[in-house]
Amino acid sequence: MSADDKPRGSATIHDVAREAGVSIGTVSKALNGTGSLSDDTRKRVMETVRALHFRPNTLARSLHTGLSGSVGVISNDSFGRFTMPIMEGLEGVLSGSGIGVFMVNATDDAERERAHLDQLLAKQIDGLIVTARRADRRPSVDLSGLGVPVIYVFSQGDAPGALTLLPDDQGGARLATDHLIQRGRRRIAHVTGPEDFEAVRLRAAGWREGVTAAGLEPGPLMHGSWTEAWGRAAVAQLLNGPRPDAIVCGNDLIARGCADALREAGIACPTDIALTGFDNWTVMAEACRPALTSVDMNLIQLGAHAGHKMTEMIKGEDASGTLRLPCTLVVRDST
């Protein structure tokens, strides 16, 4: 029986090697993302793997290498607003190295998280990514005795020595503020979320840093909820005092509420008051009227960076400390 005649999924590594015209070792290197193969050879092998519907024996490989070829992800972001872009970047990198991803949702329940963690460890995961819907500190996941590397992404463990990857919130707010100043704005307010969020404090610092560097007096700093309703209420308060000519908002929901309130008050945006958001939640920013200039935290790239770091740590490299990756500003009609 030829490889073509075999049932789907029953082709062997010998069949792949024969069809691709390479050695078994070369097939193994291509599958594992190792070795110094040419791009053409690696491509030819992988095309043959797909054509023959070859399924590597992951159990046999794990016994040989001591690795399962899988990484776990624990999150409490039930809505997925932040976790899913991170997952996209993470999987894009890990899949290229033959590593699969198991994701579980702990929903702020420590007991549930422990149960999920036990399940992931039972699968012999090679590493763990801890992420969340907010980037504040949380109790660390201690797997040091098991030799399983842990990376916090858009989350922070409270134990020293962990590797933590975060967006540069302060730098992102500074980008938005500098952009408004370059557009000629001089009375810039900041409407943002609850002060107990570290991201809120950092974004406020970036806004203040920007206006101070330009020799301007900071406008009002207003804390509230992460909602459109708070954006509308904040604008009502701002219009009762000295009117700003720009508002840096702590997220896109707040900014959209501000935009609605300005429009209802007959105030032109951006002619009279310009507006920026934060998160670049595309469905929200593009549906805003006017379309919202917003800071993008580059979460896909953050996840990809985590994927590269994780593959290095699985191979035995050490990594620790906090890395803040740059944000970018997506300019739309509101400025």
- Tell whether 176 and 204 lie within a shared domain: yes
Q: Does residue 330 sit within a domain? A: no
Average pLDDT over residues 183-187: 97
pLDDT of residue 36: 78
- Tell whether 95 and 42 lie within a shared domain: no
**8 A C-beta contact, residue 70 and residue 125:** yes
pLDDT of residue 78: 80
Domain count, the chain: 3
Last residue of a domain, one of 56, 77, 99: 56
* Inter-CA distances, 305 with 90, 101, 153, 267, 300, Å: 7, 15, 10, 42, 9
Q: State the Rg of the chain over Cα.
A: 25
- Tell whether 277 and 190 lie within a shared domain: yes
Residue 180 vs residue 4, higher pLDDT: 180
- Tell whether 36 and 144 lie within a shared domain: no
**8 A C-beta contact, residue 241 and residue 247:** no
pLDDT digits (tens, 9 = 90+) for 102-140: 999 988 888 899 899 888 888 889 999 999 999 999 989
- Tell whether 203 and 263 lie within a shared domain: yes
Cβ-based neighbour number of residue 206 at 10 Å: 24
Q: Does residue 268 sit within a domain? A: yes
pLDDT digits (tens, 9 = 90+) for 79-100: 888 999 999 999 999 988 888 8
Q: Does residue 89 sit within a domain? A: yes
Query: Which residues span the domain enclosing 7?
Result: 3-56
> CA–CA separation, 246 vs 335, rounded Å?
9
> 18: domain CATH number?
1.10.260.40
**8 A C-beta contact, residue 45 and residue 16:** yes
> 274: domain CATH number?
3.40.50.2300
SS3 307: helix
Positive or negative, the CA dihedral 276, 278, 280, 281 is: negative
> CA–CA separation, 231 vs 265, rounded Å?
13
- Tell whether 206 and 275 lie within a shared domain: yes
State the pTM of this model.
0.81
pLDDT of residue 19: 92
Q: 7 pLDDT exceeds 80?
A: no
Q: 259, 293, 261: which is closest to 278 by C-alpha?
A: 293
Cβ-based neighbour number of residue 329 at 10 Å: 18
* Amino acid at site 256: R
> CA–CA separation, 23 vs 14, rounded Å?
8
Q: 5 pLDDT exceeds 60?
A: no
* Amino acid at site 201: R
Q: 11 pLDDT exceeds 90?
A: no
Per-residue confidence band for 66, with pLDDT thresholds at 50, 70 and 90:
low
pLDDT of residue 161: 82
Across the chain, what does the average pLDDT equal? 90
pLDDT of residue 34: 65
Residues, the chain: 335
pLDDT of residue 62: 47
Q: 76 pLDDT exceeds 60?
A: yes
Q: Does residue 333 sit within a domain? A: no
Cβ-based neighbour number of residue 188 at 10 Å: 26
- Tell whether 284 and 187 lie within a shared domain: yes
